[in-house]
Amino acid sequence: MNFKLHIWRQPNAKAKGHFETYSVANISPDCSFLEMLDILNAQLSTNPVSHPVCFDNDCREGICGMCGLYINGRPHGNDDGITTCQLHMRRFRDGDEIWIEPWRAKAFPIIKDLVVDRSAFDTIIQAGGYISATPGAAPDARNTLVDKHSADLAMDAAQCIGCGACVAACKNASAMLFVAAKVSHLALLPQGQPEAKQRVKAMVFAMDSLGFGSCSNTYACEAECPKQIKRDNIARLNRQWEAAKMS
Ligand code: FES
């Protein structure tokens, strides 16, 4: 398969970026999107005047959340429920033109080309996305019973990999779905209860101070989340927040 790629190039956060056009040929339909970019970079590396395209990745299995790219106007491309590293070239047509951009949000400044700084998410987690009580050994943990429904909801929320697609998809660059998932997976479990109020306040304050926008209920975040985190978590976050404010 052959493709024409329009890729955002930007040397650093302060520089002005622009699209550059490249061609790649003889790409296997079974090639992943990131492997296709590897092939392009191998091509660019042989040219003394061109520089490989910087993009973030680690696990290439949909686990680490590092590989977020805007592909033809959608976070992680045109398939639902997958990350960029799980997207394959057979999902495109031979000869397609593909537009590839970084996440665009004030809280995620561009480091270089397609790589953005998502450390704002780390700051939110450091504000309260943990439990500080020791859970003890495995037999102690088994003594704390969790009903199946709550366990399922908590595990669904815990699937969030912090990729930032929710922020990139939102017209306000809101991080509500991310914070909601992180608050929910602890709030639904007994181990998360002692610090629940302090946690939600600290995480929401951190989110607001880092330049993320407000949620205006468009649910673009839910539609584009590769882990299909539900917007119900945002409702739970709002309930937790209201309860914490009144206490
Ligand atoms: S590289 Fe880890 S989720 Fe894509």
Determine the structural domain holding residue 145 and report its residue range.
Answer: 119-246
Q: How confident is the model at residue 54 (pLDDT cuts 50, 70, 90)?
A: very high
- For residues 129 and 208, state if they share a domain: yes
Residues with CB under 6 A from ligand 1: 57-60, 62-67, 83-85
> H/E/C letters for each residue in the chain?
CCEEEEEEECCCCCCCCEEEEEEECCCCCCCEHHHHHHHHHHHHHCCCCCCCCCCCCCCCCCCCCCCCCEECCEECCCCCCCCHHHCEHHHCCCCCEEEEECCCCCCCCEEECCEECCHHHHHHHHHHCCCCCCCCCHHHHHCCCCCHHHHHHHHHHHCCCCCCHHHHHCCCCECHHHHHHHHHHHHCCHHHCCCHHHHHHHHHHHHHHCCCECCCCCCHHHHHCCCCCCCHHHHHHHHHHHHHHHC
Last residue of a domain, one of 78, 112, 146: 112
**Best mutation site among 35, 38, 61, 121 for ligand 1 pocket (most ligand atoms within 8 Å of CB):** 61
For residue range 80-118, list pLDDT tens digits in order.
999 999 999 999 999 999 999 999 999 999 999 999 999
Last residue of a domain, one of 112, 127, 149: 112
- For residues 87 and 127, state if they share a domain: no
Q: Which is the closest atom of ligand 1 to the Cα of 65?
A: 3
C-alpha 59 – ligand 1 centre gap (Å):
5
C-alpha 163 – ligand 1 centre gap (Å):
8
**Best mutation site among 85, 87, 227 for ligand 1 pocket (most ligand atoms within 8 Å of CB):** 85
Average pLDDT, the chain: 95
116-139 mean pLDDT: 90
What is residue 72's predicted lDDT score, i.e. its pLDDT?
97
- For residues 47 and 160, state if they share a domain: no
Name the nearest CA neighbour of 219 among 155, 176, 159. 176
Residues 186/131, Cβ–Cβ less than 8 Å: yes
pTM of the model: 0.93
* The pLDDT of residue 136 is above 80: no
- For residues 21 and 125, state if they share a domain: no
For residue range 14-52, list pLDDT tens digits in order.
899 999 999 999 999 999 999 999 999 999 999 988 999
For residue range 174-224, list pLDDT tens digits in order.
999 999 999 999 999 988 998 999 999 999 999 999 999 999 999 999 999
C-alpha 240 – ligand 1 centre gap (Å):
31
- For residues 10 and 82, state if they share a domain: yes
Q: Is 56 left (phi over 0), alpha (psi -120 to 50) or beta?
A: beta
**Best mutation site among 37, 58, 71 for ligand 1 pocket (most ligand atoms within 8 Å of CB):** 58
Q: How confident is the model at residue 139 (pLDDT cuts 50, 70, 90)?
A: confident
What is residue 228's predicted lDDT score, i.e. its pLDDT?
96
Last residue of a domain, one of 97, 112, 127: 112
| Domain count of the fold of the chain | 2
C-alpha 56 – ligand 1 centre gap (Å):
8
C-alpha 39 – ligand 1 centre gap (Å):
18
Nearest CA to ligand 1 atom 3: 62
- For residues 184 and 135, state if they share a domain: yes
**At a CB cut-off of 8 Å and minimum separation 6, what does 201 contact?**
128, 241, 244, 245
* The pLDDT of residue 10 is above 90: yes
CATH number, domain containing residue 76: 3.10.20.30
C-alpha 83 – ligand 1 centre gap (Å):
7
